[in-house]
Structure 1
């Protein structure tokens, strides 16, 4: 069951989509909700320090603190309106330190909710989302920046390729899948008419959990990119969320995401639960 949810709180926005979605999700599961509000520190290279006026740096620090306080207040209002038990945790740190701290926090929560990066509003969301996905060891639910509906789980699409990340995502998605009426296992295969024993095995596994699922196959010979195929299937089925593995490599200085994962993160239209 999902009893403990963590959400990263956005700044500089009038409506925090991930916060609102997390509040509705917590209300649906009767879960406790924790929001992390970060007052981002200015990370200025040493050789620039002398070129920046002290009053400019001080003003930026105060602005970031005010933005964090506003995010906390917005979270408290949303959680209170949803009637869920909640708390706010605050942190003052650079983006890199905040992202790693958030990933460490997420290890002791059942589910972590983050916002999809908005290409028209550059911010910390991309670093936060990728770091928690790659480093937390837990499932991450990514909410589109255009999301307006509260949590709903009528229909789900599970993008299954038999990989370790896909297996982890499926296992951690079970509490969500138990709220659905329809589950589709979406498979990419070499030919449309080939026997897909893997898809049948996933259906069998979910049946033992009391879930009825069907398999839909897409032949790779169609030439359609996998990420686009997943999103088209979501649109065709009217799915409420997607379950899939998140692919990438551990980072030294930056995260290197797999092509399908990065494309989904950039173009997703419904919440996506990922695990690495």
Structure 2
């Protein structure tokens, strides 16, 4: 089992390099077709003082969008030429100009989507809306951290397990990576009381993955006043995991947008690649 179609979300030249550093080796290893997706905003017609659309502003915005597209497409084409990889390229437009959200429809035809975590030093427009593609594409998304080394293979996988349908979806979407890993740990934060289904489901999940040939263990830990995302981040560091797998938005997207949550924290701060499904 492997991924045969991989969509890469390339919002700008700032994030494109890291996404391709992750996506190209994976595509080569699996013999996958790589789909490059980049979007630009539709120029907005501003009115001049006399009440007519300011053509100069529209022309300037159009030229800037064309230049950004050329930069990203050239970077993508050069990497594909060097990799001798099967690929295709899509330039899209939308009011937002967000490559992730705008490209969600195209991404639905991919086995896996790869996008970059937002670098806090980037301008807002350079950050793809990963939440949008996770929620709208229906496909698993591999989020590449904005800093740090990128591995070309994932040897140790940490599965954040809460028994939800989103977590189950993420685990089995990540099965090709889990099977190839040297070790996978199913990690439960704040294990429930005896008899609760979450603990039993973790053991059942481990057995199911083992039947696929994966090397799996189960671990639990009490949060003891820490946030769940902090416990997960500490466990990633303690185990040396180079991939985190978790279900996205097991609570509502609106709730996490307003109050925060594990999904949003992982999207913004997790130092290792994170594999997420909704």
TM-score by length of 1: 0.88
Find 1:205's aligned residue among 197, 201, 208: 208
Do residues 264 (structure 1) and 262 (structure 2) align?
no
Do residues 189 (structure 1) and 184 (structure 2) align?
no
Distance in 2 of aligned mates of 1:207 and 1:14: 36
Inter-CA distance 97–81: structure 2 relative to 1 (3 Å threshold):
closer
Give the Å deviation of 1:96.
Answer: 6.1
Trace 1:143-162 onto structure 2 (pairs within 5 A): 143-162=144-163
Whether the aligned pair in 2 keeps the contact of 1:114 and 1:125 (CA below 8 Å) is no
Whether the aligned pair in 2 keeps the contact of 1:8 and 1:19 (CA below 8 Å) is no
Distance in 1 of aligned mates of 2:144 and 2:158: 15
Whether the aligned pair in 1 keeps the contact of 2:180 and 2:214 (CA below 8 Å) is no
Inter-CA distance 230–78: structure 2 relative to 1 (3 Å threshold):
same
Aligned to 1:237: 239
Whether the aligned pair in 2 keeps the contact of 1:192 and 1:217 (CA below 8 Å) is no
Distance in 2 of aligned mates of 1:36 and 1:134: 17
After alignment, is 167-176 or 52-61 more displaced? 52-61
After alignment, is 76-85 or 113-122 more displaced? 76-85
Give the Å deviation of 1:55.
Answer: 1.7
Give the Å deviation of 1:190.
Answer: 4.3
How many residues are paired up? Answer: 270
Give the Å deviation of 1:61.
Answer: 1.5
Listed one character per residue, the Cα deviations across residues 179-228 of structure 1 (whole Å, up to 9, x for unaligned) are 200101111124799994332112111111111211111113x1121111
Listed one character per residue, the Cα deviations across residues 131-150 of structure 1 (whole Å, up to 9, x for unaligned) are 11011111111111115424
Equivalent position SS for 1:64: helix
Trace 1:15-30 onto structure 2 (pairs within 5 A): 16-30=17-31
Equivalent position SS for 1:49: coil
Aligned to 1:228: 230
Equivalent position SS for 1:39: strand
Whether the aligned pair in 2 keeps the contact of 1:37 and 1:69 (CA below 8 Å) is no
Inter-CA distance 61–148: structure 2 relative to 1 (3 Å threshold):
farther
Inter-CA distance 188–97: structure 2 relative to 1 (3 Å threshold):
closer
Aligned to 2:56: 55
Aligned to 2:11: 10
Whether the aligned pair in 2 keeps the contact of 1:182 and 1:213 (CA below 8 Å) is yes
Whether the aligned pair in 2 keeps the contact of 1:17 and 1:148 (CA below 8 Å) is no
TM-score by length of 2: 0.87
Inter-CA distance 271–162: structure 2 relative to 1 (3 Å threshold):
same
Inter-CA distance 82–136: structure 2 relative to 1 (3 Å threshold):
same
5+ residue gaps, structure 2: none
Give the Å deviation of 1:5.
Answer: 0.3
Q: Cα RMSD over matched residues?
A: 2.7
Whether the aligned pair in 1 keeps the contact of 2:6 and 2:35 (CA below 8 Å) is yes
Whether the aligned pair in 1 keeps the contact of 2:11 and 2:100 (CA below 8 Å) is no
Equivalent position SS for 1:109: coil
Give the Å deviation of 1:250.
Answer: 5.9
Distance in 2 of aligned mates of 1:134 and 1:117: 17
